[in-house]
């Protein structure tokens, strides 16, 4: 097996090559490089420079390892990289593959060169480790390649609300620390001025702007720097994030973008920023009201905010939904910070638990389990939940376990009928469901007939009526399941419809100088029908 040697070419000027690097370049019969037009390679005969064309640094690293595996011991596989080879994504890919690969990796040696990153920092007047500065390649601002079956539609495509765009996860920058983004590019047309010739292309500045706007405000200050072949500042530009693109030069091997750090209170588009604000509110010198809250006192707020999320969903109001989801998130962060201060758990524990659970309960997505239907997914989900409980010593004794006692009755009924159906306790046909509904309705009518002559039901009749009405409601919930409807959603929509029509009826009465309570029943029904038709209200 041969040795892979990565040799640094420096910023461009051949005079800046180290003696070791130049000696190696002179002695190597054939070398590969992603930058065949790099000025430091111009003195070499063209036939000795082999362009390294691959779709990614990982593919290039795999090719180099393959060449080394085919070489005899003592032979060298030389690859020339711009700047210092340790700064290049190809070196990182080789290290990663060597650490996780099943086979022994080939020996790897670096021949240093002047670092372009050091040159960028010098031109910008900042130290390489200034305030914990982050250094990334521009390609890290692109969404990662999807590890999915492209034939399978995403949620947005199933719901017909747009085309799928992968999210930028995880976000590669911490906004409260400075960042240097190396604007190295891919140029499939052969490269120019030392640019790379890998077949992938780096993001344009417009896409860099879009990625940074996920975490930074539009007016955030940036500095663009471009180096000459000696690694010195050729030109610099100060630009606001919202203006990035425009007149500024495009990405290039000797170009970089410096992103100033955000003050802690300005970090408002990052979940960590919210956690810091909440920690400040509950910390020494924080808000007196917030510090008086307890785990119990936040229960009502959590319920109220959840109901407001439901209201936003019912109205299809996305602006309202953004605000209300934020309020629910605030409750989660508040409770987590209280738990952190009481040494119980922290927000990271909450995130870990739910992430771990999602991965573990979706082996058909994150593992090798194959499923053919949603029913199989739900069956696996319940089986995995049962295994998790067994590991915690909380094995369930009934298929109906797991329905919270505090759940509203309608939601609890929906869960109960679903769980009993999964356990095999269900009707076989829709006709049987309709028959059961009619049976329960008849029993309610019979209970009513038993006391209708009395002024009010006796305690016994009251219990009978309540029992029969409960049976009717429970049967309706099961009927909704068979009709593939959400009973809660259907009732909420009816409530909203009733509100709209009643408000329209009141408006019609006021418009005509009438007092709604004083109207006859016939007059109220006439107004109701008018409101139902949407006369003067726009509500049909």
Per-residue pLDDT of 2-27, as tens digits, reads: 999 999 999 999 999 999 999 999 99
Q: Is the pLDDT of residue 29 over 50?
A: yes
Q: What is the pLDDT of residue 87?
A: 92
pLDDT category of residue 266 using cuts at 50, 70 and 90: very high
- Domain-terminating residue out of 222, 238, 266: 266
Quick check: is 392 in a domain?
A: no
CATH number of the domain encompassing residue 174? 3.30.950.10
Higher pLDDT, 186 or 509: 509
In this prediction, residue 197 carries a pLDDT of 45
Is residue 335 located within the same domain as residue 441? no
Residue 160 located in a structural domain = no
Tens-place pLDDT, residues 99-154: 656 678 899 999 999 999 999 999 999 998 888 999 998 888 887 766 666 678 88
Task: State both tokens at 93.
Answer: 């890919």
In the β-sheet with 134-137, what is the strand arrangement from edge to edge? Answer: 134-137, 179-182, 255-259, 221-227, 233-240
The mean per-residue pLDDT over the stretch 338-351 comes to: 98
CB atoms within 10 A of CB 18: 16
Same-domain pairing of 57 and 175: no
Determine what percent of the chain falls in helix, strand and coil, rounding each to the nearest 5. 50, 10, 40
540 vs 531: CA distance, rounded Å = 8
For residues 509 and 518, the answer to whether their CB atoms sit within 8 Å is no
461 pLDDT more than 80:
yes
In the sheet that holds 76-81, the strands lie side by side as 49-51, 31-33, 76-81, 3-8, 108-111
**195 and 182 within one domain:** yes
**DSSP structure class, residue 242:** G
> How high is the pLDDT of residue 231?
92
Q: According to the model, what pLDDT value does residue 476 have?
A: 96
513 and 448 together in one domain? no
Classify residue 55: in a domain, yes or no: yes
Residue 388 lies in a domain: no
Domain co-membership, 128 together with 260: yes
- Which of 370, 306, 307, 294 is CA-nearest to residue 338? 294
The CATH code of the domain that includes 468 is 1.10.287.1080
Query: Among residues 98, 113, 128, which one ends one of the domains?
Result: 113
In Å, how far from its chain's centre is CA 232? 40
Confidence band, pLDDT 50/70/90 cuts, at residue 325: very high
Check whether residue 189 and residue 228 sit in a common domain. yes
Number of structural domains (the chain) is 5
CA–CA distances in Å: residue 331 to residues 211, 307, 345, 354 = 28, 13, 15, 16
What average pLDDT does the structure give for the chain?
88
Determine the length of the chain: 540
- Give the angle subtended at the CA of 298 by the CAs of 293 and 303, to the nearest 5°: 165
Task: Kindly state the greatest CA–CA separation across the chain.
Answer: 112
Q: Note the pLDDT of residue 413.
A: 93
Report the run of H or E that residue 328 belongs to, with start and end: helix 318-341
Asked whether the beta carbons of 426 and 399 are under 8 A apart, the reply is no
- Nearest to residue 88, comparing CAs of 69, 113, 121? 113
Q: Who has greater pLDDT, 231 or 142?
A: 231
3-state SS of 53-103 is CCCCHHHHHHHHHHHHHHCCCCCEEEEEECECHHHCHHHHHHHHHHHHCCC
More confident residue, 348 or 150: 348
Same structural domain for residues 97 and 131? Answer: no
Place of tokens 């390609």: 139
Continuous segment of H or E residues that includes residue 258: strand 255-259
User: Both 450 and 478 in a single domain?
Assistant: yes
Residue 46 lies in a domain: yes
CA distance 40 to 459: 98
The structure tokens listed for 163 are 């085309």
Query: What phi-psi label fits residue 109: left (phi over 0), alpha (psi between -120 and 50 degrees) or beta?
Result: beta
- Confidence (pTM): 0.75
Q: 347 and 330, same structural domain? A: yes
Residues 173 and 39 in one domain: no
Per DSSP, 123 falls in state: H
Q: What is the pLDDT at residue 160?
A: 92
Is residue 114 classed as helix, strand or coil in its secondary structure? coil
pLDDT at residue 198 is higher than 50: no
198: containing domain: 119-144+166-266
Do residues 172 and 238 both lie within one domain? yes
Examine the pLDDT at 537 and tell me if it is beyond 60.
no
384 inside domain: no
Pairing of strands 221-227, 233-240: antiparallel
**Cα separation, 246 vs 365, whole angstroms:** 41
Distance separating alpha carbons of residues 407 and 183, to the nearest angstrom? 53
Residue 376: the pLDDT is 87
Neighbouring-strand partners of residue 179: 134, 259
| 314 pLDDT more than 90 | no
d(CA 224, CA 211): 16
Rounded to an integer, what distance in angstroms lies between the CA atom of residue 261 and that of residue 177? 5
d(CA 400, CA 30): 71
Q: How confident is the model at residue 304 (pLDDT cuts 50, 70, 90)?
A: very high
In a domain, 100, yes or no: yes
* SS3 assignment, position 238: strand
Q: Give the helix/strand (H/E) hosting 234.
A: strand 233-240
432 and 320 housed in the same domain: no
Domain end (from 449, 466, 485):
485
- Domain-located, residue 153: no
Q: Are 496 and 314 in contact (CB under 8 A)?
A: yes
Token output for 373: 């239907």
């Amino acid at each position: 097996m041969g040795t892979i040697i990565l040799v640094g070419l420096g910023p461009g000027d051949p005079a800046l090559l180290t003696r070791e690097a130049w000696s190696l370049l002179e002695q190597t019969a054939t070398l590969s490089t992603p930058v065949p037009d790099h000025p430091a390679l111009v003195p070499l005969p063209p036939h000795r420079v082999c362009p390294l064309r691959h779709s990614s640094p990982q593919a290039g690293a795999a090719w180099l390892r393959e060449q080394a595996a085919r070489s005899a011991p003592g032979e060298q596989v030389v690859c020339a990289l711009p700047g210092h080879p340790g700064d290049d994504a190809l070196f990182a890919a080789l290290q990663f593959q060597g650490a996780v690969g099943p086979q022994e990796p080939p020996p790897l040696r670096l021949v240093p060169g002047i670092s372009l990153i050091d040159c960028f920092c010098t031109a910008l007047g900042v130290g390489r480790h200034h305030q914990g500065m982050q250094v990334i390649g521009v390609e890290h601002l692109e969404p990662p390649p999807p590890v999915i079956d492209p034939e399978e539609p995403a949620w947005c495509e199933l719901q017909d609300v747009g085309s799928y765009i992968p999210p930028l996860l995880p976000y590669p920058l911490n906004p409260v620390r400075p960042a240097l983004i190396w604007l190295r590019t891919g140029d499939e047309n052969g490269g120019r001025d030392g640019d790379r010739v890998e077949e992938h292309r780096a993001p344009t500045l417009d896409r860099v702007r879009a990625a940074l706007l996920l975490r930074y405000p539009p007016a955030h200050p940036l500095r663009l720097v471009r180096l000459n072949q000696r690694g010195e500042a050729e030109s610099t530009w100060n630009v606001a994030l919202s203006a990035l693109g425009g007149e500024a030069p495009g990405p290039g091997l000797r170009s970089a973008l410096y992103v100033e750090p955000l003050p802690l209170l300005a970090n408002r588009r990052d979940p960590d920023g919210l956690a810091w604000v909440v920690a400040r509110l509950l910390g020494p010198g924080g808000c007196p009201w917030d510090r008086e809250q307890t785990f119990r006192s936040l229960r009502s707020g959590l319920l109220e905010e959840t109901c407001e999320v439901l209201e936003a969903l019912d109205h299809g109001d996305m602006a309202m939904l953004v605000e209300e989801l934020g309020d629910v998130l605030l409750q989660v962060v508040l409770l987590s910070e209280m738990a952190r201060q009481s040494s119980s758990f922290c927000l990271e524990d909450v995130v870990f638990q739910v992430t771990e659970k999602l991965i573990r309960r979706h082996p058909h997505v994150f593992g090798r389990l194959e499923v053919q239907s949603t029913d199989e997914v739900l069956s696996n989900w319940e089986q995995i939940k049962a295994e998790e409980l067994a590991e915690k010593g909380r094995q369930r004794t009934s298929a109906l376990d797991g329905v919270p006692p505090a759940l509203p009755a309608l939601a609890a009924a929906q869960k109960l009928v679903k769980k009993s159906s999964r356990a095999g306790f269900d009707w076989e046909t829709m006709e049987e469901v309709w028959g059961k509904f009619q049976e329960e309705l008849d029993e309610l009518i019979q209970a009513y007939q038993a006391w209708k002559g009395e002024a009010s039901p006796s305690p016994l009749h009251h219990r009978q009526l309540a029992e029969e009405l409960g049976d009717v409601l429970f049967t309706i919930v099961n009927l909704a399941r068979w009709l593939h409807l959400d009973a809660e959603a259907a009732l909420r929509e009816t409530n909203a419809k009733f509100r709209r029509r009643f408000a329209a009826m009141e408006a019609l009465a006021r418009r005509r100088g009438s007092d709604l309570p004083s109207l006859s029943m016939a007059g109220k029904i006439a107004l109701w029908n008018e409101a139902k038709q949407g006369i003067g209200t726009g509500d049909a």
